[in-house]
Structure formats: structure tokens, C-alpha cells
């Protein structure tokens, strides 16, 4: 399968064409994860590199992101082959000050697909909102950050959980492009996941630990 057409349509921000391309690829029997990795995520990586090089700016990045989201919407049912039994309750959000939600949505989608109940807290989520989610039954907190400047909010959330005496009641998983295992160790999170499929595997392990 040649993914270049979908790839270029994401970069050019052509949402209807991306939607049509993803539908056609699925109809031709191409796997959803293959489309995701080789067309959608690959295109966003290219966008990131061009942005860094100063070849494009925020508006172009935003329309490319919208085009990617349009493709993701079509992939969702194929990625989320829901299992019957709820594997656990996960409250997921992008941390305070950070508006990037594509990776967070992808992780939520994959978790949902592997049987987790998802409380999607959205973007720009304060430590207090994560704390409330634990009071409302979340067994795992999933925090996403795409900016080095917003990563410290993960540590603030852990502090808020300790101050509310809830830290022992919940597992905390973190992720996002600038986040690392070292950072997770440093701030005392229970786990780091580098991508959406490992997030699913790790969330299951956290429920068993």
C-alpha cells in the first residue's frame, strides 16, 4: 500500500481527502495500525520537523492536526475492538497549560479498545481536576504532556494527590514526546509509556500490581 497520498494530505491539511484516503485504505484491507503509523503519525512527525526548521508555522500545524484527527475518527472503530469486561477505570488528560491532544486521544482510544473505561478530562487539566477524578473512582491517572514547559505539572499533580492522601489509591502513568522513563522515576510516577500500544499493556500491568 502506498501511504504517500494520505501522508501528503495530512501535511497539506486536507481533512476530507484524509478521511476518504483512510476509508479507502481500510476498504482495501490495510490494517488500521499500519495506516496510523505509516501515514498519520509519520505525517505529524514531518510537520514537527518542518515547524522546528521554521518552514511552517502554528496555523499550518493546526490544520494538519485537524486533518489527522479526521483520519483518526475513521480509524477509531478499527483500533478500538472493545472487549467485554472493563479492565479498569482510567482518567486521562493533557496537563495544565498544554493543548496538544492528538497523542492523548490516541492513547485513550487504544485503552478503550482494550477494555478500559475512560474518563477523558480533555486538555489543560489542572492537578485539582486529576484529584477529583480519583475521588470519582479513577484507578489509573494518565497524564500527557507535549511541551517541556508543561511537564512540571505532572509533578504538581503527584504532589496534589499526596496532599489529598490519595496517592496510594491510584496508579499514575505518564507519556508524551518529551517525557522519559528517567523523568517518571524522578517525579515518582508509577509508569511511563512511550506510545499508545505500550500504554495499553502497561495499564493492564498496573491494574495487576
Which residue ranges make up the site for ligand B1M (CB under 6 A)? 41, 44-45, 47-48, 51-52, 58, 61-62, 65, 92, 97-104, 106-107, 142-144, 146-149, 173-178, 193, 195-196, 199
Stated as kind and residue range, the H or E segment containing 92 is strand 88-95
Q: What are phi and psi of 25, to 5 degrees?
A: -65, -45
CB 26 within 8 A of CB 74: yes
Closer by beta carbon to ligand B1M, 21 or else 176:
176
| CA pair distance 130, 141, nearest whole angstrom | 7
Closer by beta carbon to ligand B1M, 27 or else 88:
88
| CA pair distance 68, 21, nearest whole angstrom | 12
Closer by beta carbon to ligand B1M, 148 or else 185:
148
Output the smallest distance, CB 169 to ligand B1M, in A: 18
Output the smallest distance, CB 177 to ligand B1M, in A: 4
Q: Taking the C-alpha atoms of 36, 121, 132 and 98 in order, what is their torsion angle to the nearest 10 degrees?
A: 90
Stated as kind and residue range, the H or E segment containing 199 is helix 196-208
Output the smallest distance, CB 15 to ligand B1M, in A: 13
Output the smallest distance, CB 147 to ligand B1M, in A: 4
| CA quadruple 152, 157, 162, 164: dihedral sign | positive
User: 3-class SS at 150?
Assistant: coil
| CA pair distance 140, 190, nearest whole angstrom | 10
Closer by beta carbon to ligand B1M, 27 or else 204:
204
Stated as kind and residue range, the H or E segment containing 93 is strand 88-95
Closer by beta carbon to ligand B1M, 84 or else 206:
206
Output the smallest distance, CB 167 to ligand B1M, in A: 17
Closer by beta carbon to ligand B1M, 45 or else 136:
45
Output the smallest distance, CB 202 to ligand B1M, in A: 8
**Cell 485539582 maps to which residue?**
128
Amino acid at each position: 500500500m502506498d501511504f504517500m497520498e494520505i501522508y501528503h494530505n495530512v501535511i497539506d491539511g486536507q481533512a476530507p481527502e484524509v478521511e476518504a484516503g483512510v476509508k479507502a485504505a481500510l476498504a482495501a484491507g490495510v490494517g488500521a495500525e499500519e495506516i496510523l503509523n505509516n501515514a498519520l503519525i509519520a505525517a505529524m512527525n514531518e510537520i514537527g520537523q518542518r515547524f522546528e526548521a521554521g518552514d511552517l508555522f502554528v496555523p499550518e500545524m493546526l490544520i494538519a492536526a485537524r486533518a489527522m484527527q479526521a483520519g483518526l475518527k475513521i480509524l477509531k472503530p478499527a483500533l478500538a475492538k472493545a472487549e467485554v469486561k472493563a479492565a479498569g477505570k482510567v482518567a486521562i488528560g493533557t496537563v495544565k497549560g498544554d493543548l496538544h491532544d492528538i497523542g492523548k486521544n490516541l492513547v485513550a482510544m487504544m485503552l478503550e479498545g482494550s477494555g478500559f473505561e475512560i474518563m477523558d478530562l480533555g486538555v489543560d487539566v489542572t492537578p485539582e481536576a486529576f484529584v477529583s477524578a480519583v475521588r470519582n473512582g479513577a484507578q489509573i491517572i494518565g497524564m500527557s504532556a507535549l511541551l517541556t514547559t508543561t511537564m512540571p505539572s505532572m509533578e504538581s499533580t503527584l504532589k496534589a494527590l499526596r496532599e489529598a492522601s490519595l496517592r496510594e489509591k491510584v496508579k499514575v502513568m505518564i507519556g508524551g514526546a518529551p517525557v522519559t522513563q528517567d523523568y517518571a522515576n524522578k517525579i515518582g510516577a508509577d509508569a511511563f509509556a512511550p506510545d499508545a500500544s505500550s500504554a495499553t499493556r502497561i495499564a493492564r500491568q498496573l491494574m495487576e500490581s
